[in-house]
Amino acid sequence: MEITTEQNLQMKNVLSLRGKFDQNLLMEKRKELDDVMKKLNVHPIHPAITTTFGVEQTPKGTVMDMEILVPVDRDISHELAVLKMPGYRFKPLFLLANAVRAHHVGNTDSLENSIKELYKYLQVRNLRPITTGYNIPQNDPDDPKDLIIDIMVGVDPNIL
């Protein structure tokens, strides 16, 4: 795993879905997101990026406050406004600036270790996170051992 600083992530025409999902609902929402893109006749130009704002334990299990971001091939702000779908937003521009990036290659099981190493790196260097971690897949492998993903966390540019 490689860690780099002062990284930026910029995407145009981003379809966003945010909500609180358990694992089953998350899978349903991912399918729904695909259906919405088909209905709007847009195509993703990068695999979906995710971020988790919080996790809570409920009597029914774990619920995650998540956002799924999909850059698409054109502006769909008008069409999405007409649909009036709760949780969906169109972002003409998404910019994550001054981020620290961990580049993970390998098994999905070891991804948690890479995330822990990234946050340890931030702590040791007194870098203050100001965003959640964004999971940015670089491929869509058939075998989970072949996963390539970047985890990016925006940090405060001020050195205190």
Please say whether the beta carbons of 102 and 1 come within 8 A. yes
H-assigned helices in the chain: 23-39, 77-83, 111-124
Rama region for 75: left / alpha / beta (φ>0; ψ in -120 to 50; rest)? beta
pLDDT in the model for residue 139: 84
User: What's the rounded Cα separation, in Å, for the pair 137 and 111?
Assistant: 12
Residue 84 and residue 139 in contact, taking contact as beta carbons nearer than 8 Å: no
Helices and strands in the chain: count of H runs, count of E runs:
3, 6
Ordered by where they begin, the domains of the chain are 2-9+95-155 (no CATH), 12-94 (3.30.70)
pLDDT of residue 159: 67
pLDDT along the chain (160 residues), means of 10: 94 96 91 94 94 91 94 94 88 96 87 92 94 91 79 86
Percentage helix, strand, coil, to 5, in the chain?
A: 30, 50, 20
Query: Which pLDDT score, from 0 to 100, does residue 160 have?
Result: 60
What is the structure's pLDDT at 145? Answer: 74
